[in-house]
Structure 1
Amino acid sequence: MNIALFDLDHTLLPLDSDYEWGQFLVRIGAVNSVTFAERNAVFYAQYEAGTLDPVEYLEFALGTLASFPRAQLDAWHRQYMQEVIQPAICPAALDLLKRHRDAGDLIAIITATNRFVTAPIAKALGVDNLIAAEPELTPDGQITGKLRGVPTSGPGKIVHAQQWLAAMDKSLQSFDRSFFYSDSQNDIPLLSVVTDPVATNPNALLKAHAEAHGWPILNLFDD
């Protein structure tokens, strides 16, 4: 049995779900169009450059969520899925997931984006296992604006993958082959510890690293 791990943004989706969620909030008038969009753009540029402070960003993103009742957020997210995510789901990404599913592989999405944004997306992609940044919740499910645990980014993806597998009495070494698909140099730590790293729709920095290390490059779509 093998394991297949997938990054989400720009890997299975041809967009960044967290950034697009922010842009969606701007479009519907839920947040200040000038100040929010400017800060969202700065964080996105930092992510692309590999200089993003994940805790600082998650506190910004989760703090925005905490400004609204959960029922309102869920209603907006249904609209966001319909208008933004569903049209962006790529047949080639679904086919890739299906190949691993048909092979009997254990499949999970592991993303730096928070669970509120990504859980419905994972469901739409047919993936049951999601490892994502965890927002702190009140007993009645409201988002407090704080992060639970360490971010699921960079080396944190290794930590969270190990914890998830350990809960099943497994590790990456429990599998004959371990795949990880990602587009970003931010994921080089986890890419470097699986048996089958796949640079998927890679940005320039990851593409150069993949070529230097003989990693396969897969292009599912054109951004």
Structure 2
Amino acid sequence: MNIALFDLDHTLIPLDSDYEWGQFLVRIGAVDGEAFSRRNAAFYAQYEAGTLDPVEYLEFALGTLAAFPRRQLDAWHEQFMAEVIRPGIRQSALDLVRRHQDAGDEVVIITATNRFVTAPIAAALGVRHLIAAQPEETPEGEITGKLIGIPTSGSGKVVHLNDWLAAQGKSLSGFARSYFYSDSQNDIPLLSAVTDPVATNPNALLRAHASAQGWPILSLFE
């Protein structure tokens, strides 16, 4: 069996779901528009430059979620999916996922964005397995604002993937071929760990690295 791993934002969808969720909260008036947009934009610029502190960002993102009841968050997320995410899903991305599924590959989305934001998106893409930043929840399902474990970004993706596989009695080396599709230089640790790294809609830094390494470059959204 092979395994096909996918980053989410700017890889399978042509936007950053975490950033867009924040902008959605601004548009509906759930958060202070000026202050939130300023912080959200600053964090996004840091992510693009590869300088983001993932713990600092997740404390900001999860703290925002913790300010609202889960029932309200879920209702807003349904609106977010209808207005922002589903219109952005491209057939080219769905076809790529389906090719791996039809081949019998294990298909997994692994993303630095938190599970609250990304679980419905993974479902909309038809992907059952999701590794994402895990918010702590109360027994009633309310989000506390704390992160469980380490962030699922950079080398943390490798750690989380290995832990996820180990829980099933598997390892990355146990697959005949392992694919990872990503757009960002932040994912070079995991791209370097698989047999088939694919720079997908890559930013400039990853494109340069992929070219130097001889990795294939895939454009899904052109």
Tell me if TM exceeds 0.5.
yes
Runs of at least 4 residues of structure 1 off by over 3 A?
A: none
TM-score under structure 2 length normalisation = 1.00
Q: Structure 1 unaligned segments of length 5 or more: list them.
A: none
Equivalent residue, structure 2, for 1:209: 209
Structure 1 vs Structure 2: percent identity of aligned residues?
Answer: 77
Tell me the amino acid that sits aligned with residue 214 of structure 2: G
Equivalent residue, structure 1, for 2:65: 65
Equivalent residue, structure 2, for 1:218: 218
Equivalent residue, structure 2, for 1:159: 159
Equivalent residue, structure 1, for 2:172: 172
Tell me the amino acid that sits aligned with residue 55 of structure 1: V
CA distance in 1, matches of 2:40, 2:120: 22
Equivalent residue, structure 1, for 2:195: 195
CA distance in 1, matches of 2:136, 2:101: 31
TM-score under structure 1 length normalisation = 0.99
1:86 aligns with 2:77: no
Q: Structure 2 unaligned segments of length 5 or more: list them.
A: none
Secondary structure of the equivalent of 2:126? coil
Tell me the amino acid that sits aligned with residue 21 of structure 1: W
Tell me the amino acid that sits aligned with residue 164 of structure 1: W
CA RMSD of aligned residues (A): 0.4
Tell me the amino acid that sits aligned with residue 3 of structure 1: I
Tell me the amino acid that sits aligned with residue 62 of structure 2: L
Give the Å deviation of 1:135.
0.2
Give the Å deviation of 1:14.
0.1
Give the Å deviation of 1:220.
0.1
Give the Å deviation of 1:117.
0.1
* Deviations 1:110-142 (CA, angstroms, capped at 9, x unpaired): 000000000000000000000000000011000
Equivalent residue, structure 2, for 1:34: 34
CA distance in 2, matches of 1:21, 1:127: 20
Equivalent residue, structure 2, for 1:132: 132
* Deviations 1:44-80 (CA, angstroms, capped at 9, x unpaired): 0000000000000000000000000000000000000
Secondary structure of the equivalent of 1:134? strand
Equivalent residue, structure 1, for 2:49: 49
Equivalent residue, structure 1, for 2:15: 15
Tell me the amino acid that sits aligned with residue 133 of structure 1: A
* Deviations 1:84-114 (CA, angstroms, capped at 9, x unpaired): 0000001000000000000000000000000
